[in-house]
Structure 1
Amino acid sequence: MTLSDVIVIGGGLAGLAAANKVAEQGWSVQVLEQSKDDAYLCNSRYTGGLFHIAMDDMAGDPQWVKENLEKTTRGTTHPQLADALTQNARRTLRWLSSLGVRFIQAGPDGLRRNSLSPPGVRQTGLNWRGRAGDVMLRTLGDKLRAQGGTIAQGMTAQRLLMGADRCEGVEVKTATGDVVQLHSRAVVIADGGFQANPDLVKRFISARPDRLLQRNAGSGQGQGLLMAEAAGAKLVGTDRFYGHIQHRKAMTDGALWPYPVLDSLACGGIVVDETARRFCDEGLGGVFITNAIAQRADPLSAVIIFDEAIWNGPGRDWLLPANPYLLSAGGNLISADTLTELAQKLGLDPSTLVDTVTRYNQLVDEGTASDQPPRSVHPYKAWPIRHGPFHAIEACAGITYTMGGIATDAQARVLREDGQTIPGLYAAGACTGGLEGGGEAAGYSGGLSKSAVFGMLAGEAIDQYLPSV
């Protein structure tokens, strides 16, 4: 039975953007949301609400925005996806505003120029109710219903219904446990990444998913990715994720995540493993370091090493900086007057830590050092570690959303392994890959911008597709 022209899997930003665009063009649309709660959890509801591209103004000149994106992703982003994102960014913000989503300028920099209103609370821990993403999702849901669309909750998508040449609907498990087939003329997968699925995280990202901090809403199980893969879709960039470095106590203490993050300290100082040696280029940024930590044999072995100058320099940088918010939230520094004493407190080999810091300082001073990973200096300055007191923070990798997933074209159409589209099947948001690159060079483009722009584009592409079905 055909219940609607279009079925959208997932009620986050990407799904509601796609559904609203479909509805305003006159097509019937139903959103399937697995949670039964009114304020169903997803990363879009947790968000602090900063709409940006590559940590800067997404409403800037499109060519400049694209160049910034390519620099951040180090040339690995798919050119057509980068064009689609940057050429449609301004238009997407205007369209969301027309639906009732409110934006304010929350700060002087590009990162905060397009912020949801009311903004996220400037506090550590989770503070999402009645703010930012929570208000945005309620607004978009109300608008969808006003346009004739529906949101069916307690519906878990299990399998795509594939005809001879196109996608024809979804098999779902209802809140009562019944399995039903919902037929439609097009399907949009928008159920988020696979960060909360330990089997998929182990398959693609880390041998020890149990030792990563789930810095997310816990709703991203990757079911959409698995369904698309079973239907013949290509997967891209699945080995990287967006996340931040957190205090290790955040694994058990919710007051220490999602903020403060320790990225600026790690980028200013060094990160060592259980052997007291560096293992990555800290100058490539917090997202890069977080991925490098996750790939260690033991992701809970990483320690950030720095001195008082770094604590009072980079340590005070960015949103809710470690200095002073880490301490006020219940985290701690491990401090000592000498590196030898610091190593002893950490259970590390003192001579190795002293040698690591000595060689790192040589790298900072001279640009080269034997037996050391390289150290980029752009965009993050390398600070020497010279004068006590010396400090350490035991860290962990916080995974927010996976940056890779289902391959799509610039119209959000799902692609097969051979590059051909699967008619009637679309995907948007964190379940997709290709925009944020892959491999070690992967860089963060921005979760809200990615979801909103490609959700809107999916709806527009469906409007062009449906008359031909």
Structure 2
Amino acid sequence: MNPVICAGTPPADAPHIPVAVVGAGACGLTAALLLADAGIECVLLERDASPSGSTALSSGFIPAPGTRVQAARGIEDSAQQFARDIQAKAHGTAAPHLVDAYAAAIGPALDALAQRHGLVFELLEGFLYPGHSALRMHAVPEKTGAALMDRLLRAAADAGLTILGDALVRELWVDAGRATGVGYQRPDGSIERLRCDAVLLACNGFGGNPALVRELLPEMQDATFAGHGGNDGSAIAWGRALAARLADLGGYQGHGSWAVPHGVLVSWALMMEGAVQVNVRGERFHDEKQGYSEAAVDVLAQPGGIAWNVFDTALLEFARGFPDFVAAEAAGAVRHAADVAALAALIGCEAPVLAHTLAGTRLAAPYCAVKVTGALFHTQGGLDIDAQCRVLRQDGTPWPNLLAAGGAARGVSGNAVWGYLSGNGLLSAIAGGAIAAATLATQLAKETS
């Protein structure tokens, strides 16, 4: 059953809720928590039995300027500086109104989650992710996306939020240019419906929909999809059915360090500290410090779509500070070589070629190596929205009570893989969720006054 648009209003016997939030990832949970702070009731509709989604699969790193955590470390940063970094990475192609809105909203959103809902954020220090001009990457102490989700869900439970699991939203009800309700499918195939005053689409992208990937991201049609299967493109389908504007559909986050055959992420922090990637010929083929997203395309262009991350034992100890690397090492992805000859034998290349390649680096024997490919993590295009996260019609006017954020909406990475600045996904999710909550709180207050 494909996502559908239903004309009118759900039946009168359908329960009523002020706000229906489609998706209980970081975006939906942030919006719901901040709506609760404003005294507005909502229901989160989650397709999985237990919320996880793209957030749980991410590294859980959130870029934010001007937070209390950043200030406590004496870091000078601002929303304006962050916005410049976002646009620099996207070569000026990111939506300016969203760049400015998200850069301004993300710091206060993290502080609100910390102060009002008990989330604990730490600043990642010691190195800068590609494109960032200040230390602004935040994470919960466990430094994983799964832990971020756990903490958000604990906050949701403490706030008394209603989360319906196994509730796959299939229907979006509209009447006279307004969203009026949703219908969601239960595991037994039955459809239950809600009437509501507003809908927030915080659901997904389209990376898990092979047909849409072939249509919109042909360069990644054969790539491993390392995201959540729930990214089925529902928001795209609803947008097309509503004749809403779609934007930046060529934008996405790739990753050039997906260990094979183990199927785990290997932290790009290694590259920022001096590791290199070589192909099966033992040659470097790109500038690793440009970013891990565009590296996916570069890796896939190599023979067999394969590369090797090469580093030494000093970097091995550094990498062990990152949970994703620890998981990769535990899975057996990290191989060891005593010298260049042994490393060349492992990779299957000629030792003189590899020796020449490594001569231009700071790496020293003994070496470590991980066999990797390029992967698609999540898409960055979707429903076009204004700075208040309201979905836009083809003529640019906003739907008054249909909002979108996170993976359902266009992001701030422009229209190509190289526009993705580290952390843009969770930036869009959390800042977008916070902005959507503020928009809904203002709107519903006006309508009930």
TM-score between both structures, scaled by the size of structure 1: 0.74
Quote the Cα distance in structure 2 between the aligned partners of 1:265 and 1:66: 22
Q: 8 Å contact 1:228–1:406 — kept in the other structure?
A: yes
Which residue of 1 is the match for residue 3 of structure 2? Answer: none
SS in 2 for 1:417: coil
Quote the Cα distance in structure 1 between the aligned partners of 2:318 and 2:414: 26
Which residue of 2 is the match for residue 430 of structure 1? Answer: 407
Determine whether 1:408 maps to 2:385: yes
Quote the Cα distance in structure 1 between the aligned partners of 2:302 and 2:287: 18
Which residue of 2 is the match for residue 83 of structure 1? Answer: 100
Per-residue CA deviation, residues 406-437 of structure 1 (Å, 9 max, x unaligned), is 22111111123333223321111122224122
SS in 1 for 2:117: coil
Q: CA deviation at 1:313?
A: 6.9
Q: Which amino acid aligns with 2:143?
A: G
Which residue of 2 is the match for residue 185 of structure 1? Answer: 197
Q: Residues 263 and 72 of structure 1: is their aligned pair in 2 closer, same or farther, counting only changes over 3 Å?
A: farther
Q: CA deviation at 1:207?
A: 5.6
Determine whether 1:120 maps to 2:143: yes
Which residue of 2 is the match for residue 138 of structure 1? Answer: 154
Which residue of 1 is the match for residue 271 of structure 2? Answer: 264
Quote the Cα distance in structure 1 between the aligned partners of 2:197 and 2:389: 16
Unmatched tracts of structure 2, length 5 or more = 1-11, 72-76, 127-133
**Match of residue 48, structure 2, among 17, 20, 35:** 35
Quote the Cα distance in structure 2 between the aligned partners of 1:190 and 1:106: 26
Q: Residues 103 and 266 of structure 1: is their aligned pair in 2 closer, same or farther, counting only changes over 3 Å?
A: closer
Quote the Cα distance in structure 2 between the aligned partners of 1:264 and 1:297: 18
Q: 8 Å contact 1:260–1:325 — kept in the other structure?
A: no
Quote the Cα distance in structure 2 between the aligned partners of 1:211 and 1:160: 32
Quote the Cα distance in structure 2 between the aligned partners of 1:93 and 1:243: 25
Q: 8 Å contact 2:219–2:297 — kept in the other structure?
A: no
Determine whether 1:462 maps to 2:448: no
Per-residue CA deviation, residues 90-123 of structure 1 (Å, 9 max, x unaligned), is 321222124323224354456576432x5237xx
Which residue of 2 is the match for residue 94 of structure 1? Answer: 111
Q: 8 Å contact 1:65–1:86 — kept in the other structure?
A: yes
The 5 Å alignment of 1:447-458 reads: 447-458=425-436
Which residue of 2 is the match for residue 12 of structure 1? Answer: 25
Q: Residues 408 and 288 of structure 1: is their aligned pair in 2 closer, same or farther, counting only changes over 3 Å?
A: same
Quote the Cα distance in structure 1 between the aligned partners of 2:198 and 2:80: 33
Quote the Cα distance in structure 2 between the aligned partners of 1:166 and 1:107: 43
**Match of residue 171, structure 2, among 159, 173, 187:** 159
SS in 2 for 1:103: coil
Q: CA deviation at 1:64?
A: 2.3
Which residue of 2 is the match for residue 370 of structure 1? Answer: none
Quote the Cα distance in structure 2 between the aligned partners of 1:3 and 1:156: 18
Which residue of 1 is the match for residue 237 of structure 2? Answer: 226
Q: 8 Å contact 1:58–1:89 — kept in the other structure?
A: no
Q: Which amino acid aligns with 1:264?
A: M
How many residue pairs were aligned? 418
Which residue of 2 is the match for residue 371 of structure 1? Answer: none
Quote the Cα distance in structure 1 between the aligned partners of 2:440 and 2:297: 35
Quote the Cα distance in structure 1 between the aligned partners of 2:355 and 2:176: 62
Which residue of 2 is the match for residue 378 of structure 1? Answer: none
The 5 Å alignment of 1:328-347 reads: 329-333=331-335, 346=347
Q: Residues 305 and 174 of structure 1: is their aligned pair in 2 closer, same or farther, counting only changes over 3 Å?
A: closer
Per-residue CA deviation, residues 200-251 of structure 1 (Å, 9 max, x unaligned), is 333323466564152x4443333233222322222222334324333543x4
Which residue of 1 is the match for residue 80 of structure 2? Answer: 63
Q: 8 Å contact 1:58–1:65 — kept in the other structure?
A: no
Q: 8 Å contact 2:235–2:382 — kept in the other structure?
A: no
Deviates more, 1:321-330 or 1:94-103: 321-330
Q: Pairwise CA RMSD of aligned residues?
A: 4.0
Determine whether 1:311 maps to 2:312: yes
Quote the Cα distance in structure 1 between the aligned partners of 2:302 and 2:195: 45
Q: 8 Å contact 2:258–2:266 — kept in the other structure?
A: no
Q: CA deviation at 1:8?
A: 0.7
Quote the Cα distance in structure 2 between the aligned partners of 1:220 and 1:387: 42
Q: Residues 43 and 111 of structure 1: is their aligned pair in 2 closer, same or farther, counting only changes over 3 Å?
A: farther
Which residue of 1 is the match for residue 290 of structure 2? Answer: 284
Quote the Cα distance in structure 1 between the aligned partners of 2:365 and 2:429: 45
Per-residue CA deviation, residues 8-62 of structure 1 (Å, 9 max, x unaligned), is 100112112222333433433221111223xx322334455433249x9877322
Quote the Cα distance in structure 1 between the aligned partners of 2:173 and 2:44: 16
Q: 8 Å contact 2:119–2:155 — kept in the other structure?
A: no
Q: 8 Å contact 2:274–2:362 — kept in the other structure?
A: no
Identity %: 24
SS in 1 for 2:17: coil
Q: CA deviation at 1:169?
A: 2.1
Q: Which amino acid aligns with 1:464?
A: T
Per-residue CA deviation, residues 329-384 of structure 1 (Å, 9 max, x unaligned), is 41244869778x97786566x69x94x997x89xx9xxxxxxxxxxxxxxxxxx45
